[in-house]
Structures are given as structure tokens and as C-alpha cells.
């Protein structure tokens, strides 16, 4: 994770946004009131999806079991709708 202050981030916003998108970089930006995290939408959605899976009791175990079955293919998008 990269770290920078808000002044550096403001000066280089386009560049750090590009790094977040192109390289999945996560940037910690510090301010006087606290810190913020800048990441791509794809990274954010991945985290939210993982949290949703972990919040359903037993779903993680079911996914692992299904993944270990020979010849079993799972359409993850369909399963998580």
C-alpha cells in the first residue's frame, strides 16, 4: 500500500488514479482529520463481494466443497446474484 498526504494526492490525483486502476494499487491518503483509501472500483467491488460471501453462514464452505468436486464448474456471477 502506498502512503501519501492529501497535498501530494491533490497534486498527483490523475497519476494515482491511473495507478489504482491499471495496477490495482491501493493508496492511503492522510489528512489532518484522518486517513482515506483510494482504490479502483474493481478492487472495491471485489472486497464487497467477498464480504457478502463471508456474511452468509455456510456459503463459504459450500463454495469450497463445490470447487473440489471433479468436473464441477460454477458460474460465480449467477450464483452470487
Q: Could you give the domains of the chain?
A: 2-39 (3.40.1620.10), 42-79 (no CATH)
Residues 31-79: tens digit of each pLDDT:
999 999 999 999 999 999 989 888 888 888 888 888 787 766 667 676 6
Q: Residue 71, by phi and psi: left (phi above 0), alpha (psi -120 to 50) or beta?
A: left
Q: How far is CA 33 from CA 8, 22, 60, 71, in A?
A: 16, 29, 37, 52
pTM: 0.68
Amino acid at each position: 500500500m502506498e502512503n501519501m498526504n492529501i497535498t501530494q494526492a491533490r497534486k498527483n490525483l490523475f497519476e494515482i488514479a491511473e495507478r489504482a486502476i491499471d495496477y490495482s494499487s491501493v493508496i492511503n491518503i492522510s489528512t489532518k482529520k484522518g486517513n482515506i483509501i483510494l482504490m479502483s472500483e474493481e478492487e472495491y467491488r471485489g472486497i464487497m463481494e467477498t464480504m457478502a460471501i463471508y456474511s452468509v453462514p455456510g456459503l463459504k464452505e459450500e463454495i469450497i466443497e463445490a470447487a473440489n468436486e471433479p468436473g464441477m464448474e460454477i458460474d460465480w456471477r449467477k450464483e452470487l446474484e
